[in-house]
Amino acid sequence: MAVDVLTEVTIAAPRHRVAAFAADPSRAPEWYDNITSVEWETAPPVTVGSRIAFVAHFLGRRLAYTYEVTELIDGERLAMETAQGPFPMRTTYTWADAPDGGTRMTLRNAGQPTGFSSWMAPFMSMAMRRANRKDLAKLKSVLERHVAVTAGGD
């Protein structure tokens, strides 16, 4: 069974700011609760072909995996894939202007678990959805707090 989890949030910050922050893998530990470290295998900044190694904890397990950026449309879309481990995954971010002047961001994780992980797909989908909602809420908080601080200093 495939896993395909789509989550979205509206952030009261300009799209260019949200996209620049969220698309920078070095910033992932600031808003992803499960990601504990990030190491560039290619030189920054992010481009198609960039490789970034992540260490995360999910469902009580330590996960180490390397993503390769497969698509980048500056300020609109970033997609990256990993074929490692029991759960090959594609993660896609999109950013669009929201009607209120903020940014609508989507986070999509899709993959095909193999082996024992395939039996856990329904549970993994629920856990991923919960984690993604939490992570996007944290991203929203971080970026909106930054916008408020910046606006207060103008």
Q: Find out whether 30 and 15 touch, Cβ atoms under 8 Å.
A: no
Query: DSSP secondary structure string, 53-114?
Result: EEEEEETTEEEEEEEEEEEEETTTEEEEEE--TT--EEEEEEEEE-TTSSEEEEEEEEE---
pLDDT digits (tens, 9 = 90+) for 105-124: 999 999 887 765 566 777 88
Question: Quick one: how many helices (H) and strands (E) in the chain?
Answer: 4, 7
Read off the pTM: 0.90
| The pLDDT value given to residue 119 | 61
Give the whole-angstrom CA distance, residue 77 versus residue 125.
Answer: 22
Sites in the chain below the pLDDT cut of 70: 1, 85-86, 115-119, 148-154
Give the whole-angstrom CA distance, residue 1 versus residue 7.
Answer: 19
Q: In the chain, what are the domain boundaries?
A: 3-33+72-153
Give the whole-angstrom CA distance, residue 33 versus residue 82.
Answer: 20
| The pLDDT value given to residue 154 | 47
pLDDT digits (tens, 9 = 90+) for 36-61: 999 999 999 999 999 999 998 877 88
| The pLDDT value given to residue 125 | 87
User: What sign results for the dihedral spanned by CA atoms 49, 62, 117, 110?
Assistant: negative
| The pLDDT value given to residue 88 | 86
Q: Report the CATH superfamily, name and number, of domain 3-33+72-153.
A: START domain (3.30.530.20)
Pairing of strands 51-58, 61-73: antiparallel
